[in-house]
Structure 1
Amino acid sequence: MSGTDTGTGENGPEMVQINLRLSKAFLEDIDTTWEEEGFNSRSEFLRYAARDAVKHPEFSREGWKQIAASEHELRSGDDDLVSRDEVLELMEQNDDAE
């Protein structure tokens, strides 16, 4: 992490700039995703993803992947809606497998 630039936002807490190295292919996936999901910027999307990972550490990585894939399928019209109970059951199965 590099704190190369800091500043106090007018509407929020102090923001710190960091440097992050990603493969070009992964960055392209991120760019496609944030645009398709309606985020205003890449930074907003990455802050949202990081915040969720920190606030909900009880979710397994595989569980997050399944949720993201299911949400993408729903938004693209490729899948049927699932209930909250079905999602929780899938997450419990993932936790048991680990």
Structure 2
Amino acid sequence: MSNADTSNDDTDPEKVQINLRLTRAFLEDIDATWKEQGFNSRSEFLRHAARDAVKHPEFSREGWKQIAASEHDLRSGEAELVSRDEVIAMMDEDDE
């Protein structure tokens, strides 16, 4: 495990250790994310992410790509945030 993993799961017979290869840049993103989101360890964060992926398959890879692309567009200034009221107004226009 990593030095960032503070949990001690060695005594839990239900848990199995796996190895995972990632780019250094992606691992740095993961480490920043688990710390920002208040997880106790990298392993806890990755278990949570894997559990979400299994329990919520409706969040497809394509859907995540679209979310990432939208985030990129917002951060680069190519898109604008829309308020809740603006969304409701647009939906009302579509109903007419």
Q: TM-score range by the shorter chain?
A: 0.5 to 0.7
Displacement of 1:45: 0.3
Q: What runs of 5+ residues in structure 2 fail to find an aligned partner?
A: 1-8, 72-80, 88-96
Q: What displacement does 1:64 show?
A: 3.7
> Aligned ranges for residues 33-44 of structure 1 at < 5 Å?
33-44=33-44
Q: Which has the higher contact order (CA 8 A, sep 6+)?
A: 2
Normalising by structure 1, report the TM-score. 0.54
- State the partner residue of 2:75: none
TM-score, normalization: structure 2? 0.55
How many residues are matched? 68
Cα RMSD of the aligned pairs, angstroms, is: 3.2
Q: Which has the higher strand share?
A: 1
Q: Which amino acid aligns with 2:20?
A: L
Deviations 1:13-52 (A, max 9, x none): 6110000000000000000000000000000000000000
Structure 1 unmatched runs, 5+: 1-5, 71-79, 87-98
Q: Percent identity?
A: 72
Q: What does residue 23 of structure 1 align with?
A: 23
